[in-house]
Structures are given as C-alpha cells and as structure tokens.
Amino acid sequence: MLKNKLAPSILNADFSCLRDVLFLLEQCQVDLIHLDVMDGMFVPNITFGPKIVASIRKNTHLPLSVHLMIEKPERFIKEFSSVLEDKDCLIIHAEASLHLDRTLQMIIDTGLKVGIALNPSTPLEMIKFVLEKLNLILIMTVNPGFGGQQFIPAMLPKIIYAKEMASNSKNDIEIQVDGGVNMENILQINKAGANILVVGSEIFGADNPAEMIKSIQKKLQISEKTQ
Ligand code: DX5
Ligand code: ZN
C-alpha cells in the first residue's frame, strides 16, 4: 500500500515571508510541498516561474511537487529540471501538451519524477497509453487557476477509476488530488484512492496553520492504519 502524504500548496500563503512558510512546513514534517506554476494562458491566473522555484528548492529539504499549469510545458522542462532534484516531481497537464508521450519522455530523461494532471472534464482514457511513463496521476478536483474553490463531487468516481488504472499498471503510480480538499472531505478522498492530498486554503486560511496541519496528519495516519 502506498503511504498517505500531505502536500500543502503554498498558493494562498503569504509570499512576503516565504522562508517562514517553508520553515513552518519543515517543522510540521509535511511529506512534500506543492507548487503551483501558472502562466495566464492555460489558466486565468499568473503565479511564479523557475526563479522562485529555484529559491524554494534552496531553502527546504522537503521534496517538491511542481504543478505546471502552463501551455506547451515542453518549452520549460529543461529550465525547471535544472533547478530541481531527483526527489522532486514535475507535473504537466495532459491538455497542455500535444505530443504528450514525447514531453513525458523529456521529463524522464531529466531524472525527475513524472506526473500528469487532468482537468475535471478530461477523461482518464487520455493517459491510458502513457501509464508506464508515470510516477503520479494528479486528479484536479477544481478547475485550476485559484485556491479556495469548492471540491467537485463528481470527481470522486474519477479518483476511484484512476486508482484502479494505477493498480493495474506495472509500475507504482501515486494518486494526488488537488483542489478544495478540507477537513470534512479529506478522508472520503483518501478512501477513494488518493494517497497524496494537496491542501491549500484549509491550511493557510486557518488561524493556526501548524495546528491545522497536525489535525490533517492525524486523520491521514488513522486512515492509513484502518485501511
Ligand atoms: C488550483 C491549484 C491548487 C490550489 C489548491 O489551481 O492547483 O493547488 O492551490 O488550493 P485549495 O486547497 O485552496 O483548493
Ligand atoms: Zn496545484
């Protein structure tokens, strides 16, 4: 069984004190950090690029899960890989790259872990023939672009189906879920088959983010023991 992991998304954190945010996440011993790179084309929002990712990489030991919400990600694989380490995962969107098989191979060749993300309306069939190239499937449970949106309930059966696909694959594939994950729905999402839970505003919108992280970690640990 794959380990349950908490991946805080720093999208809604205070960027004026990023080092403190990273320190807090290290102190809380989260499993990885989820970084949302947006280009204003693939999604209607702009965040940050390789330079900020490089600074984050230099200031934490935690593995990074870099979620590229950018058009034609193949243009930037080299640049991102040059600032990342082998323990990190580069995630591209299936909808954003025309020659997906080739782009995934480009990531494999860098030595990074390979992830593919699917928008809510994108069928899982789209990745059926590239499964062997993947370490991770990211199921978007909101339309990407912003933190603080509502989880789309119709995504639960999609998570179950993704887990089934992953289990039938020769390689170990983790299922990451991103968007609207909170204290109320996290167990249901985990039980549906997601072992990596991205949580943004539930943590950084809380009065005490560290306490919130601890509560989530406890839930995930108990859930792991009872599975
Ligand atoms: C949305 C991003 C998410 C987002 C999650 O486009 O990909 O990672 O930050 O934030 P919450 O948990 O607030 O939905
Ligand atoms: Zn994300």
Q: Which of 142, 155, 182 to mutate to test the pocket of ligand 1 (most atoms within 8 A of CB)?
A: 142
Name 74's Cβ contacts closer than 8 Å, sequence gap at least 6: 97, 99, 102, 103, 106
Q: 101 an active-site residue?
A: no
State the Cα torsion 100-106-109-110 to the nearest 10°. -120
- List residues near ligand 1 (CB under 6 A): 9, 11-12, 34, 36, 67, 142, 144-149, 178-181, 198-202
Measured in Å, residue 62 CA sits from the centre of ligand 2 at: 17
Element (H, E) at 137: strand 136-140
Tell whether the model's pLDDT for residue 226 goes beyond 90: no
Task: Quote the pLDDT of residue 107.
Answer: 98
Task: Quote the pLDDT of residue 131.
Answer: 98
Question: For residue 195, which phi and psi values (nearest 5 degrees)?
Answer: -100, -15
Assigned token pair, 210? 């560290």
Measured in Å, residue 35 CA sits from the centre of ligand 2 at: 6
Q: Of 31, 39, 88, 178, which is the active-site residue?
A: 178
Domain boundaries, given as residue ranges, for the chain: 5-226
Atom of ligand 1 nearest to the CA of 144: 6
- CATH ID of 5-226, from 3.40.640.10, 3.90.50.10, 3.20.20.70, 3.40.50.150: 3.20.20.70
pTM over 0.85: yes
pLDDT digits 0-9 by tens, 120-162: 999 999 999 999 999 999 999 999 999 999 999 999 999 999 9
Q: Of 31, 36, 39, 88, which is the active-site residue?
A: 36
Angle at 43 between CA 95 and CA 64, to 5 degrees: 80
Q: What share of the chain is helix, strand, coil (3-state, %, to 5)?
A: 40, 20, 40
Q: Could you tell me if 173 and 89 are in contact, meaning their C-beta atoms sit under 8 angstroms apart?
A: no
Atom of ligand 1 nearest to the CA of 151: 14
Tell whether the model's pLDDT for residue 227 goes beyond 80: no
Q: Could you tell me if 124 and 169 are in contact, meaning their C-beta atoms sit under 8 angstroms apart?
A: no
What is each CA distance from 185 to 10, 121, 216, in whole angstroms?
Answer: 20, 20, 11
pLDDT digits 0-9 by tens, 188-210: 999 999 999 999 999 999 999 99
Helix (H, G, I), strand (E, B) or coil at 115: strand
pLDDT digits 0-9 by tens, 4-24: 999 999 999 999 999 999 999
